[in-house]
A and B are shown apart, each in its own frame.
Chain A
Amino acid sequence: MAEELELERISEAEWLLPKHGEMRAPARVIADELTIAQLRQDTVEKREWNALRQLRDVACLPGIVGEALALPDVHPGYGFPIGGVAAFDAIDGVVVVGGVGFDINCGVRLLATPLDRAALASRADDVARDLFDTVPAGIGSEGNLRLPMSEIDELLEQGASYVIERGYGLTDDIEFIEENGRIEDADPSAVSTVAKQRQFRQVGTLGAGNHYLEVQEVAEILDREAAAAYGLTEGQIVISIHTGSRALGHQIGQDYLKVMEEASRKYHIPIRQQELVCAPITSPEGSRYLSAIACGANCAFANRQVIAHLVRSVLHRIFGMSPSSVRTVYDIGHNNAKFEEHTIDGEIRRLLVHRKGSTRAFGPHHAESPAIYRDVGHPTLVGGTMGTASYVMHGTDLGMTKAFGSGIHGAGRALSRKKAAKKYWGEDVKSDLLSRGIILRAHSTRGIAEEAPGAYKDVERVVNAAVRSGISRPVARLIPIIVIKG
């Protein structure tokens, strides 16, 4: 086993697993030494959950193009490693449930406010209380927007624009959402009635687990030109919304797991682990699943849009702020599979890019970036965890050629939830954060312990590895002031 997963260092922050055995492509790990040491240890100790083995198994799938990639926040997932990227030929490739997951298009929306820390300080408790009361979060929470079943289909087709047209946000938001908040080819008939019924009460809810809403301060500008383009200044108050497609995405994942299991057998796809069940992209099953993924992605865009509107309503109540003064900096997902064009060996090819716990990070001058960001590339949003910093970054030309224009999505877990819950006590975490000036409001005390800052890798280390490899550049470091958890 150890020999099979032998990594070769190829640059300061990159390791290669050469193509061998059943691999149809090499695998590349972009990370720092500590992460590589952890991956090697998992292999030596023959741990059941092994991100490197998962990456190798992804590299064995039919139609894979270039390399299977793991980014610096890599850790074991189900099927794909978290922090994984894999692109497949649009004709010969496969679509893999494990490369998308249950929380389809889970992602982050960043809002910029005209406030600075001093202006927030005197009302911080009120803001925390109002956000906690206004944004539905936690188990069993219900959204205020109740759609009739006939309209859920429209939401799934139209994404963020559907809720904006109904008063949840500004038309200007659209330009600053990945794919303009709507992935084409979304076909609601590919989504089960159960999935739609489950979503009925969950539009505009945050959820639980690692999802959060954070009020943050721009603590440091790391790239003046890019920060100016994004409208970020030091000391500015910004707000991050981390959530996904809620029950609709969960049910799509569950429904299609079964469909893909049957498709893998029907099309005789050689898969090395059952979590990698998949279907040819061009098969009826694959095509329907992709239509359903697009619906799930659009649902997530709409969900973050509704929550952004709720955040604006809180800022209006407390500071009299107009909605247009709270600008969407960007909204980007980190669990998705979508079609993109990439240049491979000088040839433009249409690929299905799976990003599981990684974001799109197109470099400068890409037509998909908002016009005012085009010179630097669109922002990518790297989530921290309660007590730790988050980062705004952007992609690079090198990232386009090395990583299909992809970037990191967060710190990545270092401790399991079980170990974290044993090691930390929710109330202690809360008072520790408060002593550092961070207000935490959460629906679950156990959830706080599981998500304790110490349960995650050091986000600075993860960001540094991405920068050292050249795939991303840091723009701004954000530190939390108010944290709302499910």
Chain B
Amino acid sequence: MAFEYLDHISDVCIRASGETLSEAFCEAARAMFNLMVDIGQVAPREAVKVRVSARTPKLLLVEWLGQLLSNKDLTGLIFSRFSATIEKKGEQITLVGSARGEAFDPSHHEAKTEVKGVTYAGLRVWEEDGQFIAQCVLDV
């Protein structure tokens, strides 16, 4: 499990990997929140549930990350720990998961940058050497 930031001139391209698709997606979420704050400083005190569906794994990635961004503003929480179960049923792939974190506190969490949206740019989900890799560009 790991994530990295690839060079992109105006925005940020995240690439996350894991032994399963779910792990890669959770790492992508960590990569996204680590742009906003140092996720090492965020305790997993509270949890929110997330359920998203899409036609393809890469569209599911955008839905998942987009839903987490919405939840950040709706709850006032920032997240650092994620779980996800991904299942394909017919034409749809569904992710059921959760995000854990705590209320953002500027005196405790050092603010980094704001993420505005999850784009279709550089959007890819693939399997390589037994690893699942998820990648996309975030508008910051």
Q: Which A positions have Cβ atoms within 8 angstroms of B?
A: 48-49, 75-79, 82, 98, 101-103, 138-140, 194, 197-198, 201-202, 207-209, 247, 249-251, 253-254, 257-258, 261, 274-275, 277, 413-419, 443-447, 450, 486
Q: Does B19 contact A (CB under 8 A)?
A: no
Question: Chain B residues with Cβ under 8 A from A447's Cβ?
Answer: 111-113
Return the chain A residue nearest B140 by Cβ: A209
CA distance A443 to B69 in the complex (A): 20
Contact residue among B78, B111, B116 (Cβ-Cβ distance under 8 Å from A443)? B111
**Could you name 29 residue pairs across A and B whose Cβ atoms are closer than 8 Å?**
A49-B8, A49-B122, A77-B11, A78-B120, A78-B137, A79-B121, A101-B116, A102-B119, A139-B106, A139-B112, A139-B114, A198-B70, A201-B73, A202-B73, A208-B113, A209-B114, A247-B73, A250-B69, A250-B116, A253-B117, A254-B66, A254-B69, A254-B117, A257-B62, A257-B119, A413-B10, A418-B5, A419-B7, A446-B112
Q: How far is the CA of A419 from the CA of B36 in the complex (A)?
A: 17
User: How many angstroms from the CA of A80 to the CA of B82 in the assembled complex?
Assistant: 32
> What CA separation (Å) do A258 and B58 show in the bound complex?
12
Closest 6 CB pairs of A and B: A102-B117, A78-B121, A140-B104, A208-B114, A198-B73, A78-B119
Residues of B contacting A208 with CB < 8 Å? 111, 113-114
Q: Which residue of A lies closest to B74 (CB)?
A: A197
A78 close to B139 (CB less than 8 A)? yes
Given contacts A82-B10, A208-B111, A275-B119, whether A443 and B106 have CB atoms under 8 Å apart is: yes
Instruction: Please give, as numbers and ranges, the residues of chain B lying within 8 Å of A140 by CB-CB distance.
Output: 76, 78, 104, 106, 111
Q: Is B123 an interface residue, CB under 8 A from the partner?
A: yes
Residues from chain A with a CB closer than 8 A to the CB of B112 are 139, 444, 446-447
Number of A-B pairs whose CB atoms are under 8 Å? 130
Q: Which residues of A contact B117 (CB under 8 A)?
A: 101-102, 250, 253-254, 257
B8-52 contact mask (Cβ, 8 Å, vs A): 1 or 0: 111110000000000000000000000011000000000000000
**Are A417 and B12 interface neighbours, CB within 8 A?**
yes
Task: Give the shortest distance, in Å, between B11 (CB) and chain A (any CB).
Answer: 7
Interchain nearest-CB distance for B117 vs A (Å) = 3
Check B127 for interface membership: any CB of A closer than 8 A: no
User: Contact mask B97-132 → A, CB, 8 Å, 1/0?
Assistant: 000000010100011111011111111000000000
Q: How far is the CA of A79 from the CA of B36 in the complex (A)?
A: 24
In angstroms, Cα B119 to Cα A254, docked, is: 8
Q: In the complex, which residues of chain B have a beta carbon less than 8 angstroms from the beta carbon of A254? A: 66, 69-70, 117-118
Contact A258:B9 (CB < 8 A) given known A251-B70, A447-B113? no
Contacts of A138 in B (CB 8 A): 106, 111
Would B121 and A413 count as touching, CB distance under 8 A? Answer: no
A443 to B36, CA, bound (A): 12
Given contacts A75-B10, A138-B111, A139-B114, contact A258 B63 (CB under 8 A): yes
Cβ contact within 8 Å between A446 and B63: no
- A139 x B37 contact (CB < 8 A): yes
Alpha-carbon distance between A139 and B137 when the two chains are bound, in angstroms: 20
- Give Cα distance in the complex from A208 to B110, angstroms: 13
B residues engaging A (CB < 8 A)? Answer: 5, 7-12, 36-37, 59, 62-63, 66, 69-70, 73-74, 76, 78, 104, 106, 110-114, 116-123, 137, 139-140
Which residues of A have CB within 8 Å of B59? 258, 261
Q: What chain A residues lie within 8 Å of B78 (beta carbons)?
A: 140
Chain B residues with CB under 8 A of A274: 120, 123
A75 and B111 within 8 A (CB): no
Residue in contact with A444 in the complex, picked from B104, B111, B123, CB distance below 8 Å: B111
Nearest-Cβ distance from residue B131 to partner chain A, whole angstroms: 20
A198 in contact with B74 given A102-B116, A103-B116 (CB within 8 Å): yes
Query: Smallest Cβ distance from B120 to chain A, in angstroms?
Result: 4
Give bound CA distance, A313 to B68, whole Å: 36
**How many Å lie between the Cα of A194 and that of B140 in the bound state?**
20
Q: Are A139 and B111 interface neighbours, CB within 8 A? A: yes
Taking the closest CB of chain B, its distance from the CB of A257, in whole angstroms, is 7
Known: A209-B113, A258-B63. A418 touches B137 (CB 8 A): no
A258 to B36, CA, bound (A): 24
Shortest Cβ gap from A135 to chain B (Å): 15
Separation of A302 and B58 alpha carbons in the complex (Å): 35
Among A139, A209, A413, A416, find the residue whose CB has the most chain B CB atoms closer than 10 A: A139
How distant is the Cα of A77 from the Cα of B66 in the complex, in angstroms? 19
Contact A275-B69, Cβ < 8 Å, known A139-B37, A140-B111, A446-B113: no
Q: Which residue of B lies closest to A197 (CB)?
A: B74
Q: Is the CB of A49 within 8 A of B114?
A: no
* Nearest chain B CB to A35 CB, angstrom units: 13
CA distance A450 to B12 in the complex (A): 11
**Minimum distance in angstroms from B75 CB to a CB of chain A:** 10
Q: Considering only CB atoms, which chain A residue lies closest to B7 in the complex?
A: A416
- Choose one: A197, A209, A275; the contact of B120 (CB below 8 Å): A275
A78: B residues at CB distance < 8 A: 11, 119-121, 137, 139
The answer to whether residues A418 and B114 also contact, given A79-B121, A250-B69, A275-B119 and a CB cut-off of 8 A, is no
